[in-house]
């Protein structure tokens, strides 16, 4: 991709005027001295009809508008007198006008409306002035001048649009560079002052909270996500990610669901901007666990909802040792029984061994739950109801179930399974 921060020099092209009738050159010469007055009148008409062009506190802008109108009328008369006259300086002038509009964040709609108003008045004034100077202007001559003026305006509009697009592309390239640097600062170690300065350069309002989103493409044809402009993109990184401002705001979660099709995503917790790296770490860990199939939630995965598993999997070797020790009785059960017994025991711990509540959670008949509890009592004995190490048992069951997940269709949930 080309560096948009570099100025792309466009080839100079001519502005051509298709206007030829008797005495055209002499009329143009006689009208030159009237250009400033006609231009001033055109500006008054523009300001009257387009109030947004009136900037009483910016005299430079008023002078620029007047200069632009004078340039257009003067160059039009120059081409009317000599169709071979140079256009190079005028073309560059109009490109700079377009660039100036882009640099101030304006579209060309108002400029185009202003030029239409100015062109109409200029034709009216030029033809009227020519007649007062003694030139006979037939209806055909007036129509020819009007058509030529509109054609001139269309050619000028092309150069203004080129300047506008070029400047907008350069500004967007610079903005993206600033935003990449801001993203790197957010995910690294930066002071509050550095973040504020970088956010200002990137034209990014520093929010109260942010969340990092870890991403993985589904395949080589994955499309670039179309996200709101306040989301910082880190798609260029070896491990792609996003930084989302105000992640707990209205509609933010739905926005990510809607725009991240083709990506597997995991959202880290909301943190202060200076702590964005602490949001990215669990997001990346959750994404990896989802890749391994240990987290089966739909994308985007919310890391906070899986923090016990994320924390435990950081020390997987230790966790597996605890599983072998703490769940040894369960692991002696027949393979076909282990998963449903572990699932039942975990739910019993969470429901205080209330069979009715457990049956509702697991969508089983209460008698099925009681039957499984008797099986668990046979395996664990009195240790099943001990409270001193219940947290360890709870964590071990969570980890074992994640590491041994099986499709729901494969589970035998009939009455006394």
| Upstream peptide bond of 55 is cis (omega within 30 degrees of 0) | no
Q: What is the pLDDT of residue 411?
A: 44
Distances 74 to 29, 34, 42, 159, 290 between C-alpha atoms, Å? 10, 10, 13, 17, 69
Cα–Cα distance for residue pair 210/276, rounded to 1 Å: 7
Q: What is the pLDDT of residue 21?
A: 76
Q: What is the pLDDT of residue 409?
A: 38
Q: Rg (Cα) of the chain, in Å, rounded?
A: 37
312 CB contacts (<8 Å, ≥6 apart)?
319, 395, 398, 399
Q: Give domain 24-172's CATH number out of 3.30.460, 1.10.490, 1.10.287, 1.10.10.
A: 1.10.490
Q: What is the pLDDT of residue 12?
A: 52
Distances 357 to 91, 259, 352, 363 between C-alpha atoms, Å? 80, 38, 9, 10
Cα–Cα distance for residue pair 371/393, rounded to 1 Å: 21
What is the side-by-side strand order in the sheet with 232-234? Answer: 232-234, 241-245, 210-217, 263-267, 301-302
Is the full-model pTM beyond 0.85?
Answer: no
Beta strands at 210-217 and 301-302: parallel, antiparallel or unpaired: unpaired
**SS3 (DSSP) at 266:** strand
Phi, psi of 15 (to 5 degrees): -100, 125
Specify whether the CB–CB gap between 303 and 268 falls below 8 A.
yes
Cα–Cα distance for residue pair 321/317, rounded to 1 Å: 6
Number of neighbouring beta carbons within 10 Å of residue 161: 18
Cα distance between the two ends of the chain: 61
Give CA 121 to chain center in angstroms: 43
Sign of CA dihedral 70, 133, 19, 118: positive
Specify whether the CB–CB gap between 242 and 263 falls below 8 A.
no
Q: Where are the domains of the chain?
A: 24-172, 207-218+228-307, 333-409
Specify whether the CB–CB gap between 268 and 241 falls below 8 A.
no
Cα–Cα distance for residue pair 284/288, rounded to 1 Å: 6
Q: What is the pLDDT of residue 406?
A: 61
Distances 351 to 70, 248, 370 between C-alpha atoms, Å? 84, 30, 14
Which ranges in 314-354 belong to alpha helices (H)? 316-326, 328-331, 335-350
**Averaged in consecutive runs of 10 residues, what is the pLDDT profile of the chain (417 residues)?**
42 75 86 91 88 73 84 90 87 88 81 88 90 88 89 90 82 81 89 89 91 86 82 90 92 86 90 94 93 84 89 86 90 90 92 91 92 92 84 88 65 37
Q: Any idea what DSSP says for residue 224?
A: P
Angle, nearest 10°, between helix axes 192-201 and 139-187? Answer: 160
Q: How many residues in total does the chain contain?
A: 417
Q: What is the DSSP string of 192-219?
A: HHHHHHHHHHTT----S-EEEEEEEESS
**SS3 (DSSP) at 301:** strand
Q: What is the pLDDT of residue 5?
A: 40
What's the token pair of residue 83?
A: 């169709």
Cα–Cα distance for residue pair 218/222, rounded to 1 Å: 6
Specify whether the CB–CB gap between 276 and 186 falls below 8 A.
yes
Closest C-alpha to 233, from 220, 245, 218: 245
**SS3 (DSSP) at 368:** helix
For residue 233, the cross-strand partners are 242
């Amino acid at each position: 991709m080309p560096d948009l921060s570099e100025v792309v020099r466009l080839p100079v092209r001519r502005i051509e005027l298709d206007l030829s009738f008797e005495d055209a050159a002499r009329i143009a010469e006689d009208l030159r001295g009237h250009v400033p007055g006609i231009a001033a009148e055109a500006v008054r008409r523009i300001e009257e009809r387009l109030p947004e062009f009136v900037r009483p506190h910016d005299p430079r802008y008023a002078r620029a508008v007047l200069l632009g109108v004078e340039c257009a009328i003067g160059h039009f008369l120059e081409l009317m007198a000599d169709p071979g006259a140079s256009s190079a300086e005028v073309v560059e002038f109009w490109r700079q006008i377009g660039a100036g509009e882009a640099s101030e964040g304006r579209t060309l709609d108002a400029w185009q409306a202003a030029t239409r108003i100015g062109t109409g008045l200029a034709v009216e004034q030029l033809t009227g002035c020519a007649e007062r100077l003694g030139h006979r202007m037939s209806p055909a001559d007036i129509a020819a001048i009007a058509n030529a003026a509109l054609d001139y305006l269309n050619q000028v509009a092309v150069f203004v649009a080129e300047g506008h697009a070029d400047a907008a592309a350069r500004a967007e390239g610079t903005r993206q560079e600033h935003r990449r640097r801001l993203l790197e600062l957010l995910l690294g170690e930066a002071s509050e002052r550095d973040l504020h300065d970088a956010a200002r350069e990137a034209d990014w309002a520093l929010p109260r909270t942010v969340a990092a989103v870890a991403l993985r493409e589904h395949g080589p044809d994955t499309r670039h996500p179309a996200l709101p402009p306040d989301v910082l993109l880190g798609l260029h990184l070896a491990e792609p990610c996003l930084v989302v401002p105000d992640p707990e705001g209205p509609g933010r979660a739905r926005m990510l669901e809607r725009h991240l099709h083709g990506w597997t995503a995991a959202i880290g917790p909301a943190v202060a901007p200076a702590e964005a790296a602490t949001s990215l770490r669990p997001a990346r860990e959750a994404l990896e666990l989802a890749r391994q199939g240990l987290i089966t939630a739909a994308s985007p995965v919310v890391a906070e909802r899986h923090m016990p598993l994320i924390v435990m999997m950081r020390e997987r070797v230790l966790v597996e040792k605890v599983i072998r020790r703490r769940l040894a009785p369960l692991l002696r059960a027949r393979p076909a029984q282990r998963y449903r017994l572990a699932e039942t025991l975990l739910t019993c711990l969470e429901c205080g061994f209330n069979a009715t509540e457990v049956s509702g959670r697991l969508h089983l008949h209460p008698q099925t739950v009681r039957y499984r509890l008797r099986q668990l009592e046979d395996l664990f004995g009195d240790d099943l109801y001990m409270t001193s190490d219940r947290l360890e048992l709870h964590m071990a069951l969570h980890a074992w179930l994640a590491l041994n997940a099986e499709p729901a269709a494969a589970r035998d949930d009939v009455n006394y399974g």
